[in-house]
Amino acid sequence: MTTIHEQLGGEPAVREVVFRFYEKALADSRLAGYFHRVDLSLLREHQVRLFTAALGGAGAVDGSGAGAEPDTASAEGIHHDEYDLVIGHLADSLRESSVPEPLLTGTLFAIAPLARDVITVPVVTT
């Protein structure tokens, strides 16, 4: 069975999407503050490994600590509204990389479980 990672074009395609995504996220004033004092090179490489693993590619974590989390979390965490912006930028990045809509949808569903690791601020209900 072909993995989503393989259908996208492997690591080079994932890397392209990740780099496009960060261009968009950094240009978005609603998200840019989350990246102050962050090593963007390390963050991009981490995301490539994370997406590779989530999409069925080669494992991202080994005993050497290669899969360790970079220090990227803002003290205030990311809110659900910002996470929605992140997903929108990711979808746009996939489209710009000529990913067909069915594969784009499959990709977003495959990474959906990662949301619990990204959203650190609970929803406030009134």
Question: Residues comprising the binding site for heme?
Answer: 46
Annotated binding site: 46
Q: What sign does the CA torsion over 90, 94, 95, 99 have?
A: negative
What are the DSSP calls for the chain, one per residue? ---HHHHHTHHHHHHHHHHHHHHHHHH-TTTGGGGTT--HHHHHHHHHHHHHHHTTSS-S--TTSTTPPPS---TT-B-HHHHHHHHHHHHHHHHHTT--HHHHHHHHHHHGGGHHHHB-SPPP--
